[in-house]
Amino acid sequence: MTKKKILIARAIFPDILAGLEQQFDVESNQIDEIFSPEVLLEKVRGKDAVMVTSSESISAALIAASPQLKAICNIAVGYNNIALDAATQAGILVTNTPDVLNQTTADFGWALLMAAARRVTESEHWLRAGHWKKWSYDGFLGADLHGSTLGVIGMGRIGQAIARRSMGFDMKVVYHNRSRLTPELEVRANHAQYLSKEDVLRQADHVVLVLPYSAATHHTIAAAELALMKPSAILVNIARGGIVDDVALIEALREQRIAGAGLDVFEGEPAFNPGFLALSNVVLTPHIASASAPTRRAMTYCAAGNLIAALAGQSPPNCLNPQVTSKG
């Protein structure tokens, strides 16, 4: 029996790759090359399924050129890299990897928040440069987390996990979401109070962004929104690049209209606005919020399970377009 053909567009854990190679004719990319759109299109052509990450753009044009394709399996929660409507129209199942990274991503949101509020990376760079000669009463004064107000914009599973962690800091939680949580979930999220986005920005001492990217959420935080925030406020983005207007944020940080920021995602990443590098009041990380070994392994297992189910003619556990009938 001829094995079905799959493309794994980025390097994955070798043991998971070996398991897939037992079942499928696999073209892998363990050297972890970033394919150009043209190369990616050629590699997808003739494949039954592809496993991709957020760095691969699965466009409508690529989908139209790949009539054999049955499944697109993203190793990520967000899926704005995939033309979902075009895939659905072509009868291609699309999957993602939700839930397995909620807690790890929430942990990292707190790591960024604490580092930015307490000026951890700024002070470390200063120390490494040999400037530490004495203690001073006003050295690297930062912001307290305990007793402050946490604002969460995007109160899905990760946002709720972030809010629950605030209980240990005796914080008040305010949030904005497309729809209000049930009273039970609000209680579990440290008695979170639902407000308009504008009121969250006005009231919060620290704002964490955890909403999906779409045309509707593009530049959710831009110059007008930054102007609503307290001068002492910290902004953290662990969601997606494009949710924040990076140019406007650089200006606000440079002019100290907000105190600081922690950013794991950027517009156009892995390229990003070099203006950030000139700022001391921003903590920068390269999209690693889910980067614990157990979580990245769980994400890859999840994507592989979705792919196996789709090509077996079953409905994958994490299908984004369940109205499509499997062509497995």
**Residue 310, amino acid:** A
225 labelled catalytic: no
124 labelled catalytic: no
HSE of 284, CA atoms in CB hemisphere, 13 A: 19
Identified catalytic residue from 118, 119, 287, 296: 287
Distance CA 29, CA 45 (A): 16
- For residue 146 the two structure tokens come to 């305990």
With beta carbons less than 8 A apart as the criterion, state whether 150 and 205 touch.
Answer: yes
Task: For residue 151, give the H/E element and its range.
Answer: strand 149-153
HSE of 17, CA atoms in CB hemisphere, 13 A: 13
Distance CA 133, CA 115 (A): 22
Distance CA 49, CA 180 (A): 37
With beta carbons less than 8 A apart as the criterion, state whether 238 and 265 touch.
Answer: yes
φ and ψ of 67, to 5 deg:
-65, -20
287 labelled catalytic: yes
Identified catalytic residue from 157, 254, 269, 297: 269
**Neighbouring C-beta atoms of residue 162, cutoff 10 Å:** 29
With beta carbons less than 8 A apart as the criterion, state whether 317 and 307 touch.
Answer: no
Distance CA 118, CA 148 (A): 14
**Neighbouring C-beta atoms of residue 49, cutoff 10 Å:** 28
Identified catalytic residue from 10, 206, 240, 296: 240
Known catalytic residues?
240, 269, 287
